[in-house]
Amino acid sequence: MRLVVNIPTYNERENIEEVIKKILPQSKLLPNIDLHVLVSDSHSLDGTAEIVKKISQFNPKVHYLDVKQRGLGIGIVKGHRFAIDRLKADILAQMDGDLSHDSSTLPVMLDFIKKGFDLVNGSRLIKGGNNYLGWHRRIFTRGSAYYCKLSWGTFDLTEYTNSYRMFTKQLFDKIDFTKIPWRAKTYIIQPSFLYAAIKAGAKIKEVPITFKDRKKGYSKAKIIAYTIDVIKFGIRVRLEKSKTLIKFLSVGTLSYFINAITLGILNRGEIYNLIVLSKPLLSMIPSFENAETFWFMTIDRLFVSSIISIEFAIIFNFIFHENWTFKYRSHDGSVLLRFLKFNFSSFGSPAVQLASIMIFARALHLHEQIGLAVGVIIGLFINYFVNMVWIWKDND
């Protein structure tokens, strides 16, 4: 199997040779792995290109690619593309070209890839990790991590703004680059690629890394612009997520009206108070006074109408969730199974509402309407959550 370590560079003549020299000996610790190094350079004019080209003349495991335009995202994306298409890479890694990343972590990362993880994320923020940057940069690292966790809802990931990662070719091929600002001038590729990997259903493992401040050369990081891009990206993710919630709520609202109208027509021939039929559609079913009682239930017209209208609303909900609300989420398995699951989960809401009414009225001695309102909201979110994790799972 071939592992290509991609090093995006811009003016790194003082570091690049040493970086390559530190990576190559790792192959001794990587059994059955054909280790290659690719420098994807944004047309540096400081001599980086000449240094790498000279090494590659004598070492067929070292490659130089001129990605021409500036941008870390361009170096990363074009570099990996080249590694897959031209160098026939099976596994891809990326690290900085200024000695900030310790190449001895590569075997650790590879171990997890071999164990079946799709992406291994180097983290300065988990136990064992270190971040030897100045205080303002450390604030940025931590601040962005908290912000991304909150805005993306990914509480199990600790690190977002670091480049040191390893992943499979299959994962890279699944990434939707039209949704990533990979041509941006800042380093937004770092968090946005991670987000796209999550969306692609990647199994992710974090390993601790030590990040050393560069000793030579100069920093190309634009922290203020980068911070703005991280904030913008988080808002985009949030909006995208709330779009689904807004659709869910709209379908729910509409289905309430469908439920109410169906119930009215079946039971009374009325839509709310408006008479539309001379007699109820289910006029053949007796009303309460004349209906038969089985055990403790009276099977009257209201009862039958309610069941039909509720099921009608459930079917309506399902059709819209299936084809609109959750259209871009997983539709694994059969439609019938999803429909049965949806029916089952729809019974959860009334149960939650009942519990809430009882708690508010009996235990807290408050008005039952407060209990109902709270119950409706809780039930709705539980339903939404169940839909997301059980019926239409997240791997779009």
Ligand X SMILES: Nc1nc2c(ncn2[C@@H]2O[C@H](COP(=O)(O)OP(=O)(O)OP(=O)(O)O)[C@@H](O)[C@H]2O)c(=O)[nH]1
Which residues are paired to 38 by β-bridges? 6, 63
Q: How far is the CB of 9 from ligand X (least distance, A)?
A: 4
Per-residue exposure over 73-91, b if at least 16 CB sit within 10 Å of its own CB, e if not: bbbbbbbbbbbbeebebbb
Q: Is 98 in the site for ligand X (CB under 6 A)?
A: yes
Residues with Cβ within 8 Å of 62's Cβ and at least 6 positions away in sequence, in order, are 20, 24, 36, 37, 39, 52, 55, 56
Q: How far is the CB of 212 from ligand X (least distance, A)?
A: 9
Binding mask 210-229 for Mg ion (x = CB under 5 A): ----x---------------
Q: Is 203 in the site for ligand X (CB under 6 A)?
A: no
Q: Are 356 and 370 in contact (CB under 8 A)?
A: no
Q: How far is the CB of 225 from ligand X (least distance, A)?
A: 12
Q: Are 161 and 191 in contact (CB under 8 A)?
A: yes
Q: Is 184 in the site for ligand X (CB under 6 A)?
A: no
Q: How far is the CB of 230 from ligand X (least distance, A)?
A: 13
Collapsing DSSP to helix, strand or coil, 14 comes out as: coil
Q: Is 14 in the site for Mg ion (CB under 5 A)?
A: no
| CA dihedral of 387, 389, 392, 394, whole degrees rounded to 10 | 140
Q: How far is the CB of 155 from ligand X (least distance, A)?
A: 25
Q: Which stretch binds Mg ion (CB under 5 A): 73-81, 91-99, 182-190, 368-376?
A: 91-99
Q: Is 100 in the site for ligand X (CB under 6 A)?
A: yes
DSSP 32: T
Rounded to whole angstroms, the Cα distance separating 10 from 316 reads 56
Q: Is 75 in the site for ligand X (CB under 6 A)?
A: yes
- Exactly one of 6, 12, 117, 188 binds ligand X (CB under 6 A); that residue is 12
Q: Is 229 in the site for ligand X (CB under 6 A)?
A: no
Give the DSSP H/E element, type plus range, for residue 22. helix 16-23
- Exactly one of 26, 40, 103, 262 binds ligand X (CB under 6 A); that residue is 40
Sign for the CA dihedral angle at 262, 247, 360, 296 comes to positive
- Exactly one of 12, 41, 96, 159 binds Mg ion (CB under 5 A); that residue is 96
Q: Is 326 in the site for ligand X (CB under 6 A)?
A: no
**Interface residue list for ligand X (CB under 6 A):** 8-10, 12, 40-42, 67, 70-72, 75, 96-98, 100, 213-214, 219-221
Residues forming the site for Mg ion (CB under 5 A): 96, 98, 100, 214
